[in-house]
Amino acid sequence: MAQETVFKVLSAVLMLQSSLGCASLLRERHQPVSPIMDLRRYFPLIEGGEWVYDIYRVGGGRVNSYTVRHTEVRRVDENTVTAKVVTVDEVQPRMPIPHRRQVTYRYLKNEVEMTSLNLFLPNQPETAPWTMLKGPLVPGNTWTNQSYERGREPTLYQVEGFETIETKQGRYDFALKVKQKWSWYPLNARFSQWGHQESWLAPDIGAVRSLSAITTKGAETTTERTETILRSFRVNPLNAASSPDARTSLKSKQSLLKPTSDIVLADEKGSN
């Protein structure tokens, strides 16, 4: 009977996490043993989730940091999950626009589609659907997204495969590598820009590293190369909704996460 009770409790916890769109967060204790083909696991929406990223100039030092927070995660239907996303820029922590959005992920049969809404500009329409990932997850698979900006060519995405990468945060096995290319040629012909980015996505965490190069041609031509690295990832109860289900889910996950109490976020610095 005791074993049966434990099994029922564990099953209930797993069902609760799934209902909130939350997969397992035990990266330190459970590394995947083979590539994960479920596209949704590379774009998790996690109630109370908090990601801190550092941006470095390639060959130089850190140039910026920012924090992404998820609140009010809601499952609309079987294939649609929404969340309010707040991004705090460490260089300009008090600048509100465009750092507060409502993001909607639609988990379609073979792709992950995203739309967003700027919560500070309520009269603005929701962005056009943007395909973040499209199967099959095999090297060479490609798809495109069309931007609304004039002169911007369709952005090309390509699956590069799965790799094991190591950053300051740790090791990520079977991280999905995706490459994107874009170009922008405004009508005035005095300015143009093109670039590419390589991103690594870890299951149940999301983006853990990216390398980008952006070339701008105007009076002169310059190329900026940067690297973005995930510094920390945690579930912060202060960022979660106050619903009982959310609190229960947070309690079940909080003790399993790697502590990040030594990290002081940008807005916390400003409040002291």
Tens of pLDDT, residues 123-135? 777 778 899 999 9
SS3 10: helix
Mean pLDDT within 146-175? 88
Whether the Cβ atoms of residue 165 and residue 172 lie closer than 8 Å to each other: yes
Between the two ends of the chain, the Cα-to-Cα distance in Å is 53
Interval 88-102: pLDDT, tens: 877 655 554 446 778
The Cα 169–Cα 209 span in angstroms is: 10
Residue type, 229: I
User: Could you tell me if 172 and 230 are in contact, meaning their C-beta atoms sit under 8 angstroms apart?
Assistant: no
Give the Cα-Cα-Cα angle 83, 101, 231 (nearest 5 degrees): 80
pLDDT tens digit sequence for 59-81: 888 888 888 889 888 888 888 88
**Per-residue pLDDT reduced to its tens digit, 192-239:** 889 999 999 999 899 999 999 999 888 889 999 999 999 998 887 766
Find the mean pLDDT for residues 15-44. 59
Per mean pLDDT, which range of 120-129, 138-147, 164-173 is the poorest? 120-129
What span, in angstroms and rounded, lies between the C-alpha atoms of 67 and 47? 15
Give the residue extent of every domain in the chain: 2-271
